[in-house]
Homo-oligomer: A and B are copies of this chain.
Amino acid sequence: MRDFSGDHAWLSLNTATVRKQGDLLAITEACARHGIGAISPWRDQVAAVGLEAVKTAVRTHGFKLSGYCRGGMFPADASKLQEARDDNRRAVDEAAALDAACLVLVVGGLQQHSRPGSAVSHDIALARTQVEDGIGELLDYAKAAGMPLAIEPLHPMYAADRSCVNTLGQALDICDRLDPGKTGALGVALDVYHVWWDPDLYAGISRAGLARLLAFHVCDWLVPTRDLLLDRGMMGDGVIEIRRIRQAVEAEGFAGFSEVEIFSELDWWKRPMDEVLTTCIERHKSAV
């Protein structure tokens, strides 16, 4: 297992972590100032300043992109299917333009929440079929673009509206059906926040192996958690055994970035950008 205590060479900043403190160009400037060498930006942050400006900033500072957030939201009724398809292809194109390591997929929940305007459905099994169909179709496009797709299983509390893929095992089942050869084109983004509770987590990490582990995200689970979406904790402030999980991931050969992704309307989004980044670096050393 790599020793992170001495530096933050393997820290990547998911730029949603400081999304309220500045635009993506301000965030890249701050990362450069703090010696953070990798980022994972969100599409809306890129769109707000323009793809070309982001490409320039990435090149200027020599950033690696541990991922690009995000594609997905596949469930849709017939009226919204083309929108979902086009939107996801654009996400692949943007990720490729920025030379991201993978496009992270938040696959979507029930169709009316995944693609608003779709007819109301409560059939989660249907949503799961729609997801697999959507990934299967996008996979051809992504392969042609040389962009790996990383399915991110999301915590079951997001099953209705954000992702009906809720366990690592479920994500790996999809990977195995759509990419049985483990070509590297399809894998998972493992975020400790979503999977820490799973009694099958460590078996799932072994099953995933290096071929499927495309990204590793960290933050922490607070007790109490005051909001389902926007109350993630800084690493070390919650109950997740982050190091134990990283150890399991690295035992499979994973040697990529630990990407810090914290949505925190109640705390970290209110603090100055430099304070957040300084804390991320400290906790990367002490708690990741």
Contacts and interface: CB of A to CB of B under 8 A. Distances in A.
A197 B155 CA distance: 10
Contact of A161 (B110, B122, B166, B223): B223
Contact of A199 (B128, B228, B239): B128
A89 to B, nearest CB: 28
B196 A124 contact: yes
Q: Which of A113, A128, A157 has the most CB of B within 10 A?
A: A157
Given A113-B223, A196-B124, A157 B160 contact: no
B113 A166 contact: no
Contacts of A196: 124, 159
Given A122-B239, A164-B197, 20 more contacts: A110-B239, A122-B240, A122-B241, A124-B197, A124-B239, A124-B241, A155-B156, A156-B156, A156-B197, A157-B225, A157-B228, A159-B196, A159-B197, A160-B197, A160-B238, A161-B223, A166-B197, A170-B199, A225-B228, A228-B228
Interface residues of A, number: 29
A239 B164 CA distance: 13
Contacts of A7: none
Contacts of A63: none
A263 interface: no
A239 B109 CA distance: 11
Among A159, A221, A238, find the residue whose CB has the most chain B CB atoms closer than 10 A: A159
A167 interface: yes
Contacts of A241: 122-124
Interface in A134-157: 155-157
A198 interface: yes
Nearest to A220: B122
A158 B144 CA distance: 42
Contacts of A6: none
A198 B161 contact: no
A224 interface: yes
